[in-house]
Structures are given as C-alpha cells and as structure tokens.
Amino acid sequence: MRSLKKRKRTGSKLNQLRSTFFIIFACLVVPVCLVFGAEFIQRGNLQEAMAWLLQNPMLFAMNAILDLLIFLLIYALAGALLPAVALTMLLLCTMSLISYFKLKLIGEPFFPWDIFLNKESIDIVPLVANRSNLLPIGVIFGMFVVLVVLSFRLPRLGLRLKTRAIVGLLAIYAVYAFGVNAPWASRVMDRMGANEIVWNQSENYGNNGISLAFMMNVKNAIVQKPAGYDESMMEGIAGKLKGQANIQTASANLDPFNGVQPNVIFIMSEAFWDPTLLPNVTFSEDPLPTVHRLQQESTSGYLLSPQFGGGTSNVEYEVLTGHSMSFLPAGSVPYQQYLSKVTPSLAGYFQEKGYKSMAIHSYEGWFWNRENVYKEMGFESFKSKEQFSNPQYKGAFISDDEVANSIIEQVDNTDIPMFIYGVTMQNHGPYDDNRYESNPIQIEGDLTVEARNTLETYTQGIQDADASLQKLMDHFAETEEPTVIVFYGDHLPMLGYDYDVYTQTGFIQTAKSGQWSLDELKQMHSVPFVTWSNVDLPQEQLPVLSNSFLGAYMLKQMGMELPETLAYNEELSRKMPAMLRNLVVDADLNLTTAVPDALAADVEQYRQLQYDSLFGKQYLAKYMDSKYLQPTVAANYNQEFTEFGSSADNVEEDLAESVKAGKEISQ
C-alpha cells in the first residue's frame, strides 16, 4: 500500500514537473514565435523579417518580452495553456495584419487609438476583400481553430487560482508601466535599444517592431500639456492678440460685396487631385478643364494635406477649426477622440454673422462621428446620405452631381446667406472595381493593365467632380446672388497597393514612404484648390498652404473680419505657409523636417492656442471679448432633417405611416 501511494506521489510530482516544464517552455517559445510571425505579417516579406531579427536581436527580445506579458495576461484570464496561446496568436496576428493593410493602403501602421474606430473600420473592407488577401486571413483563423480543437484533446495545463491572480496582476502592472512609459520601463526599453520615431510612424514600426512601437504609442493617446501652459501664459497671449484681428483683411477698406453678405461654399471633393501631374502618361482629353481654367483666372494653389489616401475627417478638422494635426498624435482622429465639447469653427463664425451654416455629406451621418461633431462646431444643419431623396449613384456612392444639386437647392430655398461645407463621396477608393460602364478618357503610358484600369477609373471620377464644380459656377453666375466657392481635395488617392501608380509613372522613386525625399513628401501631400466668385476678388497663386490656414486666408480674401485666433493663423501663414508633422515650409519655400529656430516661438504659440481650445481650460476666451471663442450649439440643430427621426430606418417608417394615412410627404 505504501509503495502504491509512493508511486502515486511520484507520478503526481512527475506530472507537475512535466506541466511546469511545458508551461515554461511555452512562455519561452510562444513569444519568440509570435514576434517573428507578427513581423513577417506586417512586413509581408520573410527576408525582411529575418534581416530585422538578425540586425536587431535586442529589439527582437524587447518585443518578445511585451508579447510574453500579453500572453501571461491572457493565460491568467483563460486559465488553460492552449486557449491562451490561441487567443494571443489571434490578437497579435490580427493586429499585424491590420497594420500590414494600413501600411499598404495609406502608409500608416496600426495605432492604439484605431481600436476605437468601430463602424469606420467597415470602410477598409472593400480595399482588402480580394482572393490574395483572404489567404493570410484564412491561415490565421485556421491556426486559431486548430489550437482551440487541440485544447479539448490535450491536457489543460492550467494554473491555480491564486497563481492566476498573481500572474495576471503582475502582467497588467508591467503592460501599464510600458504603456505609460514609467521610469523603470523606460530604462529597460532604452537598454534594449528602443528609439521612438514619433514623426515617422512607418519607420518607427519598421525599426522597433510592431509590439514595441504600438506600446510606445499608447502614451501618445494622451496629448501632453505644452511646457509653460497656464492661465498667466494665455493671458499674455491674449494681450498680444487684442486688436490684431480687425486689421487682418486683404485691404483696410475692402468690401467687394458692397455690404451684402455672400454665400460661402466650401466643397471638399473626395480624393480630388490632378492626375495630369503624373509623368510619363498622357490623357486622351483634359479631365479637369474647369479646374485648370480657374488655376489661370482666380485665386488657386495647393493645400498641404495632413493625410494620404484616407482620414478625410482630419482635413475637415484642420479647415473648420484652424487647428493643425501636427500637434496631435500620428494617426489620431480628433472627430472620434477629442471633439466632445463646443468648439470654435468656421461654422459657428458664420452662424454668428447671421448666416445659416450647413454641412452636406453624401455618406452616413454616423461616419467619423460627424452627426455629433458638426453640432459641437456650431452648424445649424447637417444633411447626410439619409436625407438625400432618391439620389443618383455613380458606382457605390452618391454622385458628385447630386451633391451639387443639393447645394443649389439649399441656397435657392434659403432667404439668408449660407455657409455650406460640402463633402463628396463618388470618387472614394478603391478604383479597381470598374465602377463605370466605360471610361471615356483613355490613358497611355508604361503601366500594367491593372494600374491603367485603376487610373482610368479614378480619372473618370475627378472628371465628374470637375463637371459638378462647373454646374455650380453656371448656376450662381446666372442667379447673380453673391457667392464664393472654394473647391479642393482632402488627400491624394490611394492608387493601388504600395503607391503602385505613383511608382510606375515615376512620380515617386520608392514605395517606402520613410525613404521619400522632402520634395516627394510634399508632392504626395499636395492637393489642388481653386476658388470662384461672381464678384471680383483679389487674385493670388499660392504654391503651398496648410489646410489649417485656409479658413483664415479665405476670410481675408473676402474682406471679412478675422477672429483673434484666425488672425494669428493668417499672420503665421505668411511666415510659414505650411506644416506637417515631419515637413515645414517657410516663406521662401525652403523645406525642413522640423520647425526652424526662427519660427519656433511662433509655432509654439500656435500650439498653446490649440491646446487651450481643445484640451485646456479655455483661458483665452476668459481674457478676450470674442464671440468666436465663446461658441454655442444651435438651438434648432438639424431640426429640419430630424422631423421624421434621425436614422434612415426611422425616416422610412414615418414615411410609410404618413402615406398610409393619406398625407403628402416631402423630405
């Protein structure tokens, strides 16, 4: 009997030793495999993943430590080894796959704040849903299923409840410490060779590895208070700005509209750009006759967009608020993350001047949280896709011509002057879908068949956008109601993976954005803008201008009073016309990667003003008697479009009920 008990105890100890051995083995091997697998997925190339591993063994180890912490946390929660391996693999590989697609499409990796883009993530599905892309997705899911099935057939290799609690809490503490850059965690990362490259996130992820770069970005989700920001500093800035706004007009006595308030229409055309700028290709006809004519006849130029291939709302944010994305974390989305209170904007400015401020966008109102943000910006109304009645579609989206019709209808049916901020959708990517029955403009050049089809589809879209602009011009020229139109694109189009069309034509020399020259970086972010008015305005050609300076610039061109902060924008734009996170253009059009010393104080004041408005305590408004800095929400916000409910489903239900009752319904 004793011998039997002894054998059982011995067997039990052996089992415990085996379990401990396998758990330790998994803790050593699984993170290493996950790091290599994640880097292989994100880079899309086995050779590049191997080269990074061999050249950066310490960074590889640092990524493995972080993956180990994630694995231990999931292990503590799951309570069994194989399910924890399966869940950790699914999490990290999915993150790497998303980063791979984002880098391919728009040159940006996966950021911590992307997790909060819930419905907006649907927007990327058409871009990745093809057979070649479904293979890695299927492989990852298949491996997950295999591990889950094996977990039912193999020993659980679980941890005791007390051990799980200790391991889980330690893992949470360590992950938190690395995420917020605690002193001890910072020392560990420094010794392992981590070098954060905030201004170039594709290079940041490429050099440091996805897990480490992602973790270093966690702290960037919280925008740090600028050095010296407090009430006394803002009081001092307020003193400098007082009296400055009223003189920031094109001329001290300029009144081109003879006391009449003009309609002001901003149209941000989806992915609008000039493809005739591509070298080594020819077009059978000019796709942009209206824009090219306006570039010769009226104020026009190029806007330096903070985005490429996507992120439309960030361009809206810059134009409407006068703020710069350069002071916010790379890849962040203010509409989703920061704008949760009443914010000074062009919409509120015009509303306060007696205008009706309206936003028109031919897509769902929830997208990028517009239906809430526009309210906080002071718009009176927002007409989204849900409020278009039987619109014409071109491809998958409402046509640009339909948006032009809507703008005309709104202006003609409104007795007071209007500020309209219109956003189109027709020419949204991808462009490999052959969305039109035919592409009348033929393109010649040394391009692959796929690249030519992509470019021809895109070109048909911008030709339609150009025609919609001409339609607006013709209408307001005929009505003679004083009107100003500002027409521009939000960003360059994503023409294939890895900037395919741009590299094939020689517009840029490499698909690696981290290796672009400053000139290439500038041209990959420069979109054309043109203006038109049925009243003579000063004419000027602008080689480059930041989106954040456009509002102030146009108010000056129209001879309108500039609020204090926009007056400062206008003044700064004459010293530094444009700025991205990693590109600054000075008044002499010199390009630098960082703000020159001569402009540092001016840019820092710009940062302080933005922080005070967006994150701070609005000290500036306290020391300035400015209605612009003390905005309010329109009391009747969107009342005209919410009579039947806020969603398309509610509209349809109410319409059906009204028709049944014999009522005449109009939207």
Mean model confidence pLDDT for the chain: 87
pLDDT tens-digit series, residues 138-148: 777 788 888 78
Residue 331 has pLDDT above 80, yes or no: no
- The predicted model gives 606-614 an average pLDDT of 96
d(CA 213, CA 208): 6
Q: Is the pLDDT of residue 369 over 90?
A: no
Q: How far apart are CA 334 and CA 369, in angstroms?
A: 10
What pLDDT digit, counting tens, does each position of 43-62 carry? 888 898 999 999 999 999 99
Lowest mean pLDDT: which of 3-7, 305-309, 481-485? 3-7
Q: In this model, does residue 667 exceed pLDDT 80?
A: no
d(C-alpha 419, C-alpha 349), whole Å: 10
Contacts of 503 (CB under 8 A, 6+ apart): 509, 510, 511
Confidence of residue 9 (pLDDT cuts 50, 70, 90): low
Please tell me the predicted confidence (pLDDT) of residue 297: 95
Confidence of residue 243 (pLDDT cuts 50, 70, 90): low
Find residue 532's DSSP bridge partners. 485
Query: Going along 181-337, which residue ranges are E strands?
Result: 263-269, 281-283, 300-304
Q: What percent of the chain has pLDDT over 70?
A: 88
pLDDT at 413: 94
Q: Domain residues of the chain, as ranges?
A: 2-221, 231-636
**Model confidence at 218, in pLDDT bands (50, 70, 90)?**
confident
What DSSP state is assigned to residue 251?
Answer: S
Confidence check: pLDDT of 40 > 50: yes
pTM higher than 0.85: no
Position 217 scores a pLDDT of: 85
Instruction: Give the pLDDT of residue 513.
Output: 80
pLDDT greater at residue 481 or residue 122: 481
Closest CA to 60 of 36, 78, 26: 36
- Predicted pLDDT of residue 98: 87
| pLDDT band at residue 660 using 50, 70 and 90 as cut-offs | very low
pLDDT at 132 (0 to 100): 59
318 vs 396: which has the higher pLDDT: 318
The span from the CA of 448 to the CA of 458, in Å, is: 15
Most confident of 117-121, 251-255, 329-333: 329-333
Residue 29 has pLDDT above 50, yes or no: yes
- Helix, strand, coil shares of the chain, percent, nearest 5, are 55, 10, 35
Evaluate the CA torsion angle 470, 474, 476, 480 in order and state its sign: positive
3-state secondary structure of 528: strand
Q: Give me the pLDDT at residue 13, please.
A: 65
- Choose between 64 and 649: higher pLDDT: 64
Both structure tokens of 235: 């009081």
How confident is the model at residue 135, as a pLDDT? 66
Residue 532 has pLDDT above 50, yes or no: yes
The per-residue pLDDT for 666 is 30
Residue 492 and residue 106: Cα distance in Å, rounded? Answer: 10
Which secondary structure element, helix H or strand E, spans residue 488, and what is its range?
Answer: strand 483-489
Q: At what angle do helices 564-575 and 547-557 cross, to 10 degrees?
A: 110
Q: Per-residue pLDDT for 298 more than 90? A: yes
The residues, any chain, with a CB within 8 Å of residue 416's CB and separated by 6 or more, are 354, 355, 356
Confidence of residue 659 (pLDDT cuts 50, 70, 90): very low
* Predicted confidence (pLDDT) per residue in 226-235, tens digit: 999 999 999 9
pLDDT tens-place string over residues 149-201: 887 877 778 888 898 999 999 999 999 999 888 899 989 999 998 888 766 67
> Which has more confidence, 88 or 258?
88
Phi, psi of 443 (to 5 degrees): -120, 130
Q: How far apart are CA 417 and CA 484, in angstroms?
A: 11
Residue 124 has what pLDDT? 54
User: Is the Cβ–Cβ distance between 566 and 585 less than 8 Å?
Assistant: no
- How crowded is residue 177: how many other Cβ atoms within 10 Å of its Cβ? 16
Query: Would you say 266 and 403 are in contact if contact means Cβ atoms under 8 Å apart?
Result: no
pLDDT of 326 reads 95
Place of tokens 């004519």: 293
Least trusted range by pLDDT, from 124-133, 318-327, 355-364: 124-133
pLDDT, average across residues 245-255: 49
pLDDT over threshold 80, residue 222: no
Q: How far is CA 126 from the centre of its chain?
A: 18
- Residue 111's pLDDT is 83
pLDDT > 90? residue 278: yes
| Residue 134, pLDDT above cutoff 80 | no
CATH number for the region 231-636 comes to 3.40.720.10
